[in-house]
Amino acid sequence: MPPVIDPEKCTHCGKCVEICSEDVFYGSKSGEIPTVTYPRECSHFSGCVSVCPTQAITLRIPLPMLLVYKPAAEELQKPVWAKPTTHGPEI
């Protein structure tokens, strides 16, 4: 769930906890790796990502938010998009 903190890179500086207006890190303890307490309140503007001095944070974009795009013409040629064989009456 967004944001995801890499414990190896996190220096426990707390900058992400302070910047977040939604306060998804509410309840995080000073000097520890922040806790993502309210992930569903994330607005995905990357404020935490931008202030992290060690690039320890990435946003995991939730599945309902996946950007919808039209596949390029050659991508539609892939076998997965081939029309299925239909057995039935000719109309």
Residue of the chain from 20, 36, 52, 56 that contacts other proteins (CB under 8 A): 20
The DSSP letter of residue 4 is E
Residue of the chain from 64, 79, 84, 89 that contacts other proteins (CB under 8 A): 64
- Which residue's CB is nearer to other proteins, number 10 or number 49? 49
Residue of the chain from 7, 30, 72, 78 that contacts other proteins (CB under 8 A): 72
CB of 82 to other proteins, least distance (A): 18
DSSP element (H, E) containing 49: helix 47-51
- The SS3 call for residue 31 is coil
DSSP element (H, E) containing 16: helix 15-19
Residue 66 as a binder of other proteins (CB under 8 A): the answer is: yes
Residue 41 as a binder of other proteins (CB under 8 A): the answer is: yes
Q: Residue 88 to residues 34, 76, 82: CA-CA distances in angstroms?
A: 59, 25, 18
Point out which residues pair with 58 in neighbouring strands: 4
Residue of the chain from 1, 4, 33, 61 that contacts other proteins (CB under 8 A): 61
